[in-house]
Amino acid sequence: MKVLQFRQAICEAMSEEMRRDESIYLMGEEVAEYNGAYKASKGMLDEFGEKRVIDTPISELGFAGIGVGSTMTGNRPIIEFMTFNFALVGIDQIINNAAKIRQMSGGQFPCPIVFRGPTASAGQLAATHSQAFESWFANCPGLKVIVPSNPYDAKGLLKSAIRDDDPVIFMESEQMYGDKGEVPEEEYILPIGVADINRAGTDVTIVSFGKIIKEAYTAADALEKEGISCEIIDLRTVRPLDIESILTSVRKTNRLVILEEAWPFGNVSTEITYQVQNEVFDYLDAPIEKINTADTPAPFSPVLLNEWLPNSEDVIAAVKKVVYFKK
């Protein structure tokens, strides 16, 4: 095993796949000359040249469309958005073209494309740069949505995403690019749509994904000292959703808390809540608790931002509520 930063894991995944398959190329703002806005494509221009690592203008709709169109001529593009907040400018190409080409062409044209970049908040970036759209994309048939939380998952899942013949939304985080973790020396891939039980437990199931899952780990450590055993499931993939792993865990723990950095109305937590109560209602010993951001645009003020974001204290309170904890 070797230790890599999250950004290095992303870079390795793209580089290994581009060495393996010449139809793969990377396109986006500052991916080439600047080595990536977050240095996730460092050295790739030197290795692969300007025809396969392509800087673009600030024109998300344009280069997203170029990427989608190029899949129809045999290419497998990786389109980087500096942040998925900017993907809204190009979302017509993602929803109305990438997600629908296979069906509208009667299966003649697959669309092997990866749209990747950071999602959700990253400090004081305020309302227009702190949004989480995982549930938006997951709502659209034809798209797969991956949100890794560590370098190992990021590399293995990005390689799988690049090899997939359908469009994949691959969401990272500005605040995770410097995170370090162990990654195998040898090549590996991870299957899309399989969750990871990172911590086994018996009293309550906590489901989360992306960078916010760190708050679940912090909460679980504190709760363990009070005699409460938490099982933590990292979804890794939002769509397809590994609901069976969640159901299996809930049958054991009889309680569920869902932690998601997103607005509270109609999100991934809502879908999980529906499926769990529909499938294993009789196993639940308490109502399901879901923890999300406040139902407002993200504030710039650090004091308000701290109140807006879910944290480990919120998780602890939710867990104690579902286990009927009494001091």
List the catalytic residues: 60, 129
Angle at 99 between CA 97 and CA 102, to 5 degrees: 85
SS3 call for 143: coil
Phi, psi (deg, nearest 5) at residue 302: -60, -30
Using a 10 angstrom Cβ sphere, with 0-12 exposed, 13-18 middle and 19 or more buried, the burial of residue 3 is: exposed
Question: Residue 149 corresponds to which amino acid?
Answer: S
Compute the distance between CA of residue 262 and CA of residue 245 in angstroms, rounded to an integer: 22
Closest among 303, 263, 258, 294 to 277, alpha carbons compared? 258
Look at phi and psi of residue 63 and say left if phi exceeds 0, alpha if psi is from -120 to 50, else beta. alpha
